[in-house]
Amino acid sequence: MKCDYACGSGEHTLERRRFLGTLAGAAGGAVLGLPHMVRAAMPELAADQKRILVVYLSGGLSQLESWDPKPKTDTGGPFRAIPTSVPGTHICELLPYTAKQMHHLSIVRSVNTKEDDHGKGHYCMTTGRRKEPAADYPHLGAVAAKLLAPADLPLPGHVHIASGGGGGSSSNAAFLGPKFASIMLGNGNPPQNTTRPDGLSEAADTQRNAFRLAANEHFAKRRRTADSDAFVSSFDQAKQLMERREVFDVTKEPAADLDRYGKHEFGRHCLLARRLLESGVSCVQVNHSNYDTHYENFDFHIEQLGEFDQAFATLVADLVDRGMWQSTLLVVMSEFGRTPRINPYFGRDHWGKAWSVLLGGCGIQPGAVIGKTNDNGTEVADREVDHGHLFHTYLKAVGVDPAQKFDAGGRPIPVADPAAEAITELLA
């Protein structure tokens, strides 16, 4: 490809690609972004386009009140285990709707991240690596936006939905660059500043943009750089985003669906996640808050999982019913689990030593239980894995070779930590 940047460098070719094609067909170990890997334009969502849905339970879900109950033990708490749609697999009674969907899902009960800090645990679980002083790695969603999104996707490839009024983008793409960082939909609202200001007429806006394009063209003739391309690209993306603003409007979904998901924020956010995934967004993360239950763990898990259960189970069922399950990887994660020991305030504290993650969908064997903890959940008893193993597994599940490398300013960096490997028995 001819390079016409002012600096004469060809390396920026990689950086300017907004939506590079999937790596499913790429050779292992190849540096991503080479011209031959650019996919053809995809005007509509292809049936085999892979997507990732992360449900992030902020604060640290208790594995004992969810995926790995230990009833009638000194650590088990008051709740019972209930049977699920998978014979022999039980989960906590706080998840009756999810229990009916477990034949689509799989549990990893032997996660040991050795990390009890919120920030570090979050980093481990979302990047697959420990935080290092001299390196920063991209969030799973940024990786998905880079590797899974079609070249012509007019939407952001990486969207987070969370409570709170904030919006805008984050910095979780690391060396992949801000184009792949998550767009935050605070309170499930559309991206901020995506409507034309009331004080600006359509005619004036058109005139203003025409002037901008003319100026850009003049500038690019002699001083084009990757930065100027990124600047131009951001306007193009914003324009496309504004034209498709309704994609982010969950009220466009049928009222009956809003009822099925539950008339609360998390229900709306799960329905919005379905809408975004259907529109082709490569990674959607829905946050549910908060599970940091140092105090009255049982009361709070009743409240939080009472919201989570129906909305989440409905989302799983809908993805299956709409034919999206085989192409959508689902991961339910937190930054860590919670202590088996119940503290004096009926709380449970941070616990990265033995906890659980739920997966399902694309590339994941349904109905499996991987690993186990001991009788009262204080240690992993079999098939210990950590965030690195899980990250490899996510990538393998969506057809990405974890050994392939990103080009970070000329430095090749493996997509996943080379020290870990996928949980192969979990893969379909």
Question: Where do contacts with another protein occur on this chain (CB under 8 A)?
Answer: 59, 72, 74, 77-80, 163, 289-290, 292-296, 298, 300, 302-304, 342, 344-345, 347
Q: If you search the block for the tokens 């993306």, which residue do you land on? A: 237
**399, 23 Cβ separation under 8 angstroms:** yes
Among candidates 12, 11, 14, 36, which has minimal Cα distance to 23? Answer: 36
What is the spatial distance between Cα 325 and Cα 312, in angstroms, rounded to a whole number? 14
Which residue's CB is nearer to another protein, number 266 or number 406? 266
* 128 Cα distance to chain centroid: 12
Asked if 387 and 125 touch (Cβ cutoff 8 Å), the reply is yes
Backbone conformation region of residue 193, classed left if phi is above 0, alpha if psi is from -120 to 50, else beta: left
Q: Determine the Cα–Cα distance for residues 335 and 357; give it in Å rounded to an integer.
A: 10
304/393 with CB nearer another protein: 304
CB of 270 to another protein, least distance (A): 15
Angle between helices 140-147 and 387-397 (to 10 degrees): 20
What's the min distance (Å) between Cβ of 112 and another protein?
A: 24
Shortest CB 284 distance to another protein, Å: 20
Cα–Cα distance, 314 to 306 (Å, whole number): 13
Selection from 375, 370, 348, 373 nearest residue 358 by Cα: 370
The Cα 81–Cα 70 span in angstroms is 8
43/154 Cα distance (integer angstroms): 9
Please report how close the Cβ of residue 72 comes to another protein at its closest, in angstroms. 7
Please identify, using beta-carbon distances, which residue of 113 and 287 lies nearer to another protein: 287
**207 or 290: whose CB is closer to another protein?**
290
Of residues 146 and 288, the one with the C-beta less far from another protein: 288
Q: How far is the CB of 96 from another protein (least distance, A)?
A: 11
User: Would you say 217 or 296 has its CB closer to another protein?
Assistant: 296
Could you give the CA distance from residue 257 to residue 130 in angstroms, rounded to a whole number?
A: 39
CA dist 353 and 339 (Å) reads 9
Strands (E), 209-361: 283-289, 328-333, 337-338, 350-351, 355-361
**How far apart are CB 56 and another protein at their closest, in Å?**
13
CB nearer to another protein: pick between 79 and 394: 79
Rg of the chain on CA atoms, in Å: 22
* CB-nearer residue toward another protein: 305 or 333: 305
Helix axes 118-127, 140-147, angle to 10 degrees: 20
Query: CB of 125: closest distance to another protein in angstroms?
Result: 19
Q: Is 196 helix (H, G, I), strand (E, B) or coil?
A: coil
> Whole-number minimum distance, CB 84 to another protein, in Å?
18
- Considering the complex, what minimum distance in angstroms separates the CB of residue 344 from another protein? 4
**Measured from the CB atom, is 289 or 365 closer to another protein?**
289
Q: Which is nearer to another protein, 63 or 304 (CB)?
A: 304
**CB of residue 380 to another protein, shortest distance in Å:** 24
Q: Which of 39, 51, 21 is nearest to 394 (CA)?
A: 51
CB of 51 to another protein, least distance (A): 27
Cβ-based nearer residue to another protein, 61 or 281 = 61
Q: What helix, strand, coil percent values describe the chain, rounded to 5? A: 35, 20, 45
- Given a contact cutoff of 8 angstroms between Cβ atoms, the answer to whether 99 and 85 are in contact is yes
